[in-house]
Amino acid sequence: MHTRDRGIILISVLLIVLLLSSVAVLIGNNYLISLKRASFLEFQTISLNMFRNIESLALKKIDLELKFNNQYLNKENPLLADNFVFDLDSGRIVSEISDASVCFNINSIVTKGDDNFIENKKSTEAFRKLMSLYEVDNNIVEEAIDQIIDWIDYDSNPRAYGLEDYYYSGPLNNPKEYTGKRLFISVNELKGIPAIRKIDWNIINNNFCAHQQNENFSFNINSINLKDSYLLSSLFPNIDITDAEYIITYMPKEGVRTLAELSKLFPSRDFTSPNGRIDFSSRSFLLSSKITFEDFTSESYSNIYYVNNNSYIVSRIYNGI
Ligand SMILES: [Ca+2]
């Protein structure tokens, strides 16, 4: 055989080997990706099913607990203290119910009048106190109150420091929009209020919530932690931050059942004229669940309300699936 022919054969063989190996790499990658994708899809389906099942369990647990006693709920109650844990071959499901009442419900700033939402003066007092504890400028606080109420109310008349559609749809505001004429669904909607944009977002994010119950400012006093001292202080006009921190620190684990019991425990503190309602139980809960399986993780957060002797899911968020 000619040397030239041998060279051609060698080059051809090398080319074929090169082609085959790149095909093999491609097939290998695609195969692995599709395998991974198939197992992720399976994980996704299983997670969704699991989350729904856990939700049903949680609703039953809440109904059962609150059916016979909806006036008193403390941190040690199995409803809040005991997690659901399910161990699988190569995975784990952990789920917990927490009391979601300890926050300032932004919708408590209004109350439903005959044909419009009007200011709830107790709640705006609590709002003023909370903001002053964070040293937010008074003018900004008044603007925030009026702008929040104008955003919710049905009319087009701006309050003293308020804004109505003419502003939100006008040249100074982007994107162009209209006021909600409804309660807030999420705290994030507050980002659209100009006065709120002048306040550190962490203050809003850490203290506020948007529950669809349009009642007085209230929370379960048995569920408070030290980080909630500003909220506790804003509920009581005569309780300052030092008092609030003291009360939270020395609050018995089993909590209290009545205001009289609370006053008896802390006789030198003044719990009169609250800017809202003091609760000893809760009607809003957060169910948080996490599933880990092999190298996949998924999370679910469901907001639950207990109304008319029944608990139901108001909203849910999934992460990782
Ligand atoms: Ca208005």
Domain boundaries, the chain: 59-100+282-321, 104-279
Distance 168 CA to ligand 1 centre (A): 13
For residue 297, report the distance from its CA to the centre of ligand 1, in Å. Answer: 46
- pLDDT tier at 22 (50, 70, 90 boundaries)? confident
How far is the centre of ligand 1, averaged over its atoms, from the C-alpha of 30 (Å)? 60
- pLDDT at 310 exceeding the cut of 80: yes
Task: State how far the Cα of 211 lies from the Cα of 104, in Å rounded to an integer.
Answer: 9
Give the integer Cα–Cα distance in Å for 251 and 245.
10
**What is the Å distance from ligand 1's center to 230 Cα?**
29
Lowest mean pLDDT among 31-40, 180-189, 203-212, 215-224: 31-40
The residue with greater pLDDT, 22 or 79, is: 79
Cα 288 to middle of ligand 1, angstroms: 37
Ligand 1 mean position to 188 CA, how many Å?
21
* Alpha-carbon distance values, 296 to 39, 55, 172, 213 (Å): 9, 21, 46, 37
- Residue 175 Cα to ligand 1 middle (Å): 20
Instruction: Mark residue 273 as left, alpha or beta (left: phi above 0; alpha: psi -120 to 50; beta: remaining).
Output: left
Q: How far is the CA of 109 from the centre of ligand 1 (A)?
A: 14
Question: Which CATH superfamily includes the segment(s) 104-279?
Answer: EpsJ-like (1.10.40.60)
What pLDDT does residue 215 have? 87
C-alpha of residue 105 to centroid of ligand 1, in Å: 20
Q: Which CATH class is domain 59-100+282-321?
A: alpha beta
Using DSSP's 3-state secondary structure scheme, residue 65 falls into helix
DSSP letters spanning 20-55:
HHHHHHHHHHHHHHHHHHHHHHHHHHHHHHHHHHHH
**Cβ-Cβ contacts under 8 Å for 167 (sequence gap 6 or more):** 158, 173, 194
Å from CA of 154 to ligand 1 middle: 7
**Average of pLDDT values for 112-138?**
96
Q: Give 140 Cα–ligand 1 centroid separation in angstroms.
A: 18
Report the percent of the chain where pLDDT is more than 90: 78
User: How far is it, in rounded angstroms, from Cα 90 to Cα 314?
Assistant: 32
Find the 185 Cα to ligand 1 centroid distance in Å.
19
Distance (Å, whole) CA 258 – CA 277: 12
Higher pLDDT, 85 or 4: 85
Average pLDDT (202-227) is 94
Distance 138 CA to ligand 1 centre (A): 21
Greatest mean pLDDT among 17-21, 28-32, 183-187, 210-214: 183-187
Confidence of residue 1 (pLDDT cuts 50, 70, 90): low
How far does Cα 26 stand from its chain's mean position? Answer: 44
Ligand 1 centroid distance, CA of 197 (Å): 20
CB 121 within 8 A of CB 276: no
**Under 8 Å between Cβ of 75 and 193:** no
| Residue 138 pLDDT class (50, 70, 90 cuts) | very high
